[in-house]
Amino acid sequence: MSCLAVLAVTAAMIIDGDTVWAPGANVRLTGEGGGSFDAPDTWETECRSEAKLGVPATDQVRALLPGTFCIVGYGAGSHGTPAQSH
């Protein structure tokens, strides 16, 4: 797998458990090999339960950072975000 770009991510760039902010776009995180996952959101949630579950998901991503991520593809996903893998 080759990287189109490498993004250094800090804790301040984390939006929620599956999305980080990058200059100009939000970046959707994927697993090794590009497998996608969907963590509960912390903003614009479907319900209070999702918002409550989104906090520990976001905290888990913060525990893994700072770090670098390999951007493996760009495209408009469900949130218009580029695909990313670590």
pLDDT digits over 52-63, tens only? 999 999 999 888
Instruction: Calculate mean pLDDT across residues 42-66.
Output: 89
In the chain, how many domains are there?
Answer: 1
CA dist., res. 45 & res. 6, Å (int): 29
pLDDT > 50? residue 20: yes
pTM above 0.85, yes or no: no
Show the domain range for 68: 5-85
Instruction: Answer whether 57's CB lies under 8 Å from 40's CB.
Output: yes
What is residue 34's predicted lDDT score, i.e. its pLDDT?
66
What is residue 82's predicted lDDT score, i.e. its pLDDT?
46
What is residue 54's predicted lDDT score, i.e. its pLDDT?
93
